[in-house]
Amino acid sequence: MQERTGTASEAAAAVHEAAQRIRENVGRVIVGADEAVTLVLVAVLANGHVLLEDVPGTGKTMLARSFARSIGGTFRRIQFTPDLMPTDVLGLNFYSQKTGEFEFRSGPIVANVVLADEVNRATPRTQSALLEAMEERTVTIDGETRPLPKPFVVLATQNPVESEGTFPLPEAQLDRFLVRMKMGYPTRTAEAEIIRRFEGGSPLDELQPVISAEQLAALGPMLASIHVEGAIVEYVVALTQATREHGAFDLGASPRASLALFRASRARAAIEGRDYVRPDDVKAMAHAVLGHRLLLSSNTRLRGRTGDDVLDEILQTVPVPIAESA
């Protein structure tokens, strides 16, 4: 194994310290949110976005607001509806009678943290308006391209239970989300703690930043120094290849998914304070990164199997790199 550089160790220490501060701060508002905050941090550090699939009332909006407040960043919430237009998201040029010129009025997409609430209720035309912003981190209006602030992360929510009046996200757009996650229902103890915290008002109102948005944005490029053995890269490729060859899927993971799993694993290693990636990092991120990019066959669905079930099988069968080489 190659010797670690001081730069890699310093990068891992800086990311780990920032992650701890953000997790603790968000934890003042949301009980048991460490793993959710970790996934959001992975997305931000790896230049990705988050798809939140859960029923209403589980804290998705509160998570986004708490995270934005913790990094001192701007926050915008977009309620997606069938009549929402692309200009309602991106912004538009309008004629100002005061100046006699066209001026740009930015849409709610121009923020550090954007909550795209119930994104699958908008028409495909409006959903596609997010693609450039998510991929290129720019907005183009009337031929003029404007950069979005750094960091920039979209947290899109959709209700997995209620499908009436929705427009399912196409595979091309699902592939743009680095990770998918669920908040889940809290335990009985955690739910009682939530009631106690909110009985006198919202603790979010008193939440203060623990890091600046600029400082968080500067941490992302530092991940390039985190060491990744060749055996780990081969392991990532083997997992994604296995999804393409498995009979349970009509559509396996794309090369973009391989790159996403690689970047997410490296971000997770740094968040945990390590300057190198372990196979456990890859395994820990596999479900969040690959699950929403896979299309189950009809026979698999009829048998009652889920994508997570098949991924578990793949993780158990694909050989893990041994400690000496990984």
**φ, ψ for residue 102 (rounded to 5)?**
-80, 135
Domain spanning 19-220, CATH class: alpha beta
pLDDT of residue 323: 57
- Residue range(s) occupied by CATH 1.10.8.80 in the chain: 226-320
Give dist(CA 241, CA 238) in Å, integer.
Answer: 5
Question: Which stretches does DSSP call E strand in the chain?
Answer: 50-53, 75-79, 91-96, 101-106, 113-117, 138-141, 144-147, 153-158, 179-181, 249-251, 295-296
- According to DSSP, residue 274 is labeled -
pLDDT digits (tens, 9 = 90+) for 10-43: 999 999 999 999 999 999 998 887 889 999 999 9
CATH 1.10.8.80, domain 226-320, yes or no: yes
Give the ranges where 175-290 is alpha helix by DSSP (H). Answer: 188-198, 213-219, 230-245, 255-271, 279-290
pLDDT grade for 162, boundaries at 50, 70 and 90: low
Q: 3-class SS at 166?
A: coil
326 pLDDT exceeds 50?
no
Please list, in sequence order, all residues whose beta carbon lies within 8 angstroms of the beta carbon of residue 44, skipping any fewer than 6 positions away. 151, 153, 216, 220
pLDDT digits (tens, 9 = 90+) for 97-150: 777 777 888 889 999 999 999 998 888 888 888 888 898 899 888 888 889 999
95 pLDDT exceeds 80?
no
pLDDT of residue 290: 94
Give dist(CA 152, CA 214) in Å, integer.
Answer: 11
Span 173-193, mean pLDDT?
88
Residue whose C-alpha is closest to residue 268's, from 297, 242, 288: 288
- Residue range(s) occupied by CATH 3.40.50.300 in the chain: 19-220
